């Protein structure tokens, strides 16, 4: 089934540990994004990539890093997790060459940092 896959679905993590959230899409979309969603707040962009080999910082990039080695994969790494990074993380992709360029989201990764 075509789409966007995230892993893990949920994770409990001790503060200070390193964690990588995986994201893979098979729609050949050029653009990919990582958002976090917290109660009462809109989706906030962490990092994005407009094409393989390039990445950019979003609204809340501190404490996170990404890479885009190829079109399909866009992992998000927390180098040293802190409790404020407890959130639901959504990976998304889009074909920015299409006028609407709507986002397609993965099912989310619920991360709890203790």
Enumerate binding residues for another protein (CB under 8 A).
40-45, 48, 58, 90, 96, 99-108
Given the structure tokens 């094409």, which residue do they identify?
A: 51
Return the closest-CA partner of residue 30 out of 54, 8, 13.
54
Q: How far is the CB of 4 from another protein (least distance, A)?
A: 9
Bridging pattern class, strands 44-49 and 56-57:
antiparallel
Least gap, CB of 100 to another protein (angstroms): 4
Shortest gap between Cβ of 41 and another protein (angstroms)? Answer: 6
> 70 vs 96, which CB is nearer to another protein?
96
CB-count burial class (<10 Å; 0-12, 13-18, 19+) for 65: middle
Q: Would you say 7 or 105 has its CB closer to another protein?
A: 105
């Amino acid at each position: 089934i075509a789409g966007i896959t995230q892993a893990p679905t949920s994770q409990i993590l001790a503060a200070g540990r390193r964690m990588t959230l995986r994201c893979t899409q098979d729609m050949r979309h050029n653009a990919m994004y990582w958002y976090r969603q917290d109660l009462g707040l809109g989706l906030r962009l962490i990092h994005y990539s407009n094409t393989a080999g390039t990445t950019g910082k979003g609204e809340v990039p501190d404490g996170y890093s990404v890479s885009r080695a190829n079109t399909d994969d866009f992992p998000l790494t927390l180098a040293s997790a802190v409790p404020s990074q407890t959130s639901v993380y959504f990976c998304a992709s889009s074909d920015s060459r299409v006028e609407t360029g709507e986002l397609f989201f993965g099912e989310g990764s619920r991360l709890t940092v203790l």
